[in-house]
Amino acid sequence: GAIVTILSALGVTIAIIGLLNNHLKKHKSSFTDRGARIEQKQEPHHRKLKTKLAPYESIRTDKEPISNLRSVGDYPVVATDKPFFWWAPLSGCADASDIINKCVLSKDVDTSTREGIQEFLDKKLASDETVDMIVSPYFKEAAGVFNSDYQGRAFTFIRDPIKRELAHFHYLQKMEKTDKNYNIAVAGMALEGYVNSDYANNNWLTRHLIGKEKGVLSEENLEMAKAILREKVLVLLVDDVHEHISYRLRMYFGSSGIDMGGKWDCISKMVHDHYEDFEFPMIAKKTHEYSMLSRNNNFDLRLFHYARYLYEHQKSTISRKSDEHKQKLLLTNEQQEETTVDSVTDAPLDDSAANDVSLDEDI
Burial 141-160 (b: 16+ CB within 10 A, else e): bbbbbbbeebbbbbbbbbbb
CA–CA separation, 108 and 100 (whole Å): 10
Q: How confident is the model at residue 89 (pLDDT cuts 50, 70, 90)?
A: confident
Nearest Cα to Cα of residue 223 among 22, 19, 57, 78:
57
Give the distance, in angstroms, between the CA of residue 39 and the centroid of all CA atoms in the same chain: 26
Query: Could you give the CA distance from residue 151 to residue 142 in angstroms, rounded to a whole number?
Result: 11
Q: Which secondary-structure segment (H or E) carries 319? A: helix 298-346
pLDDT of residue 353: 36
- The identity of residue 165, as a single letter, is E
Tell me how many degrees the CA angle 333-339-341 measures, rounded to the nearest 5: 105
SS3 content of the chain, % helix, strand, coil (to 5): 55, 5, 40
Q: Which residue would you say has higher pLDDT here, 123 or 174? A: 123
Residue of 158, 154, 156 lying closest to 83 (CA atoms): 154
pTM reported for the whole predicted model: 0.72
Alpha-carbon span 88 to 68, nearest angstrom: 20
53: exposed, middle or buried (C-beta count within 10 Å: 0-12, 13-18, 19+)? middle
Q: Which among 115, 300, 346 is positioned nearest to 206, based on CA atoms?
A: 300
Residues paired with residue 154 on neighbouring β-strands, in sequence order:
84, 233
Alpha carbons 188 and 123: distance in angstroms, whole number: 42
96-118 confidence digits (pLDDT tens): 667 777 777 656 788 888 999 99
- Between 179 and 206, name the one with better pLDDT: 206
pLDDT tens per residue across span 312-344: 999 888 888 888 887 887 787 666 665 544 433
**pLDDT, tens digit (0-9, with 9 covering 90-100), for 15-73:** 556 665 655 544 444 433 444 433 333 333 333 333 343 334 445 556 768 899 999 98
CB 32 within 8 A of CB 216: yes
Crossing angle (nearest 10°) for helices 298-346 and 219-232: 20
**Degrees (nearest 5) of the Cα angle 207, 208, 213?**
55
123-147 residue pLDDT tens = 888 888 878 888 899 999 999 999 9
